[in-house]
Amino acid sequence: MTGGGHADPYEGLGAVRRRAATVALLGCAFLAMLDGTVVGTALPRIVERIGGDDSWYVWLVTAYLLSSSVSVPVYGRFSDLYGRRLLLLGGLGVFLAGSLACGLAGSMPVLIVARAVQGLGGGALLTLGMALVRDLHPPERGGGLVRMQTAMGAMLVLGMVGGPLLGGVLADHADWRWAFWMNLPLGAAAAAVLWLLLPERRPERARGGRLDVAGLLLLSAGLSLVLVAFSLRGNAPDGGAGWADPAVAGSLVAGVALLGALLPVERRAAVPVLPLRLFRRPTYGSLLLAGFFFQLAALPVGVLLPLYFQHVRGQTATVSGLSLLPFLIGSVVGNRLTAAAALRTGRTKPALVTGACLLLGGTAGFLWLDPATGAVPLTCRLLVAGLGSGPAMGGLMIATQNCVPRSDMGAATAGAMLAKQIGGAFGLAVVQTVLGARGPDAAGIGTAVGGVGTVAGALALAAVAVPRGVRVPSRAERATGPEPAAVSRTAN
């Protein structure tokens, strides 16, 4: 039941409508992930065609990262207050408008602004898409959630690994503008399905109070400055901006200061954009830290191994992408096993601990990477690292969404996504620092992947091992049909 005693419109949704809406939601999430990675390999061709120099590379990537990251907590919180469907459709419309503008851009400044517009919409696609999938497939539905987590994990990994490959293919064999125009038919189809088949579900209880404008401005400015600092450091060429560079250090210090000033503002706000009560739950804070460190450990595998395959081993971009298949397969399998184990036993902690151990072990193996490393050892390391990263997709999200009340699920989902995005941005900055010191050869890449993965994997293990686990409806509990809120508690 929803607020006001009205029946939940999702409970009586037919199987065909539920399945079609889910596919559209997964498509939205995939578009958001893909668009964050697809331009990477197309950047040289884009700059070549419309003008500019290497300094523009940073801002084409950073513009999307900034606007999407800043908008994530806003979409998540507003969806808890006003509902998710219309917010998602609005965000999808902004994303498609930005995609069209990117494809039509005739100069670099226009393209950067269009990328920022894309990001403003993209923040809704992944966050609200995942929250709505959880609404349509709550844990008490059992097998449906397992399938959805598997599909979601596969799409996220495909976006991370396949985006650069697709961008290169489009840049080499078609107009680079298709990297943006391809979003239009896919996004329009998803919007039509969601508009026609997905009903609106109102929040469980109405909330009054003034809009938290001060909190919104402080959060946006603080996150922007922190991400600018990470982006400047992560995209710096050899000899470029270091951590002590005034632009990097100044942005980082100012961003942290603004985020610190946000805390007292949010404590006083009637309807805070960032509900601090969520952080009174130790498990929620631990899960955010775990997501940050999981992403920090796994990201160098997908980013730096293609550099090793292409520049050290001399492989083509296509062969390099295929060489990452063990990581992709391991991530999908690990995600599915995690969701299935959590729903069968009602416990998330064992799968998350196992995943952190596998990720730590798999990435540590790259410390011994050299130009002659055989295919079998490489495949084994990638597979183990992928199996370890899988729980961070489905397991962490299941745990996060079940450790908070349903009325705060949008904000909790947004917090989990934001923690991973910040972890990814910080990870790029850290591996760039390592490569700058060691060089982009086999030893340098191995040190960056293995060193960062080992440290971050150990911290992820601590984050999921120390606190109590999260209870989700087990198979026996689903048979008796408990309310989701009744099982959103912690357990060892």
pLDDT tens readout for residues 173-198: 777 788 888 899 999 999 999 999 88
Which domain, by its residues, includes 230?
213-271
The CA distance from 484 to 306, in Å, is 43
Nearest one of 470, 449, 453, 471 to 461, comparing CA atoms: 453
Number of domains in the chain: 3
Same domain (yes/no): 428, 311: yes
Same domain (yes/no): 237, 307: no
Asked whether residue 334 is domain-assigned, the answer is: yes
Q: What is the pLDDT of residues 354-377, one digit of tens each?
A: 999 999 999 999 999 888 888 899
Predicted confidence at residue 482, as pLDDT, reads: 43
Predicted confidence at residue 153, as pLDDT, reads: 65
Same domain (yes/no): 343, 491: yes
Asked whether residue 299 is domain-assigned, the answer is: yes
Asked whether residue 206 is domain-assigned, the answer is: no
Same domain (yes/no): 137, 21: yes
Pairing verdict, β 490-491 and 469-470: antiparallel
Q: Distance of CA 478 to CAs 7, 149, 246, 342, 401, Å?
A: 20, 18, 56, 13, 17
> Which pair of tokens denotes residue 209?
């109070």
Same domain (yes/no): 151, 20: yes
- Residue 22 neighbours by CB distance under 10 Å: 22
Residue type, 166: L
Give this prediction's pTM: 0.76
Asked whether residue 4 is domain-assigned, the answer is: no
Q: Distance of CA 331 to CAs 56, 116, 170, 335, 338, Å?
A: 33, 30, 26, 6, 10
Same domain (yes/no): 284, 242: no
185, HSE (Cβ side, Cα atoms, 13 Å): 3
Same domain (yes/no): 389, 250: no
> Which residues are within 8 A (CB) of 314 and not within 5 positions of it... i.e. 6 or more apart?
none
> Which residues are within 8 A (CB) of 244 and not within 5 positions of it... i.e. 6 or more apart?
none
Predicted confidence at residue 474, as pLDDT, reads: 53
Same domain (yes/no): 152, 37: yes
- β-bridge partners, 294: none
Asked whether residue 142 is domain-assigned, the answer is: yes
Q: What is the pLDDT of residues 196-228, one digit of tens each?
A: 988 887 776 545 556 677 888 888 888 888 888
Predicted confidence at residue 403, as pLDDT, reads: 80
Same domain (yes/no): 301, 378: yes
Asked whether residue 32 is domain-assigned, the answer is: yes
Predicted confidence at residue 477, as pLDDT, reads: 53
CATH number of the domain enclosing 476: 1.20.1250.20
Helix (H, G, I), strand (E, B) or coil at 445: helix
> Which residues are within 8 A (CB) of 45 and not within 5 positions of it... i.e. 6 or more apart?
171, 172, 176
Listed residues 248, 271, 294: the one ending a domain:
271
* Cβ contact 46:103 at 8 Å: no
Same domain (yes/no): 160, 50: yes
pLDDT beneath 50: ranges in the chain:
1-5, 206, 239, 478-492
Listed residues 164, 197, 230: the one ending a domain:
197
Predicted confidence at residue 195, as pLDDT, reads: 94
E strand or H helix at 313, and its extent? none
Same domain (yes/no): 176, 251: no
* Cβ contact 218:259 at 8 Å: yes
E strand or H helix at 469, and its extent? strand 469-470
Same domain (yes/no): 459, 388: yes
Our CA angle for 154, 90, 181, nearest 5°, is 60
Asked whether residue 205 is domain-assigned, the answer is: no
Listed residues 168, 197, 226: the one ending a domain:
197
Predicted confidence at residue 465, as pLDDT, reads: 84
Asked whether residue 101 is domain-assigned, the answer is: yes
Q: What is the pLDDT of residues 151-168, one digit of tens each?
A: 666 666 666 666 666 766
